[in-house]
Structure 1
Amino acid sequence: MTKHIERPLMIGLKNIAQLLDVSTRTVIRMHKDEQIRLYRMRGKLFAKFDELKEDLDDLLQPLPSKEKQMNQE
């Protein structure tokens, strides 16, 4: 009997880039800007799934609605 893991503990660099719809260079740039946390294991870069989600939640900012923008002008 095998266990089914719903979400992975770690995500590789290419998978992170694919999830975010950006290049791997952009993911590395985000790490250098301390926006996301990456870890090196056996020469490859990974992110912890839960930490990546936290980092992205902190990074995202909602856009104001058009009505609010018109009221401010």
Structure 2
Amino acid sequence: MSSFTIAHDIPGRMRIRYGKNKFSSVQGEVLKKDLYAWPMIESVEVINVTGSVLMSYDKAQKGLLLNKLKDLDI
């Protein structure tokens, strides 16, 4: 189960934070690839130094997105 905070959220765009240095640059790239595989995701930017992820997504599927994020093993 994943622990994150929502730093910014407007319909269709969300930044979440896992915590500083939570994952390496390689892990960040794997996370980015995994998130792009989700059908509701339109774009992803992962910043491993700050542990943040910026996503554009289908706003009609926000609930599903949040559930999937909670199930991630970060």
In the superposition, the TM-score normalised over structure 1's length comes to 0.33
- Choose 1 or 2 for highest CA Rg: 1
Instruction: Select the structure that is richer in strand.
Output: 2
In the superposition, the TM-score normalised over structure 2's length comes to 0.33
Instruction: Select the structure that is richer in helix.
Output: 1
Query: Whose relative contact order is higher, 1 or 2, with alpha carbons under 8 Å and at least 6 apart?
Result: 2
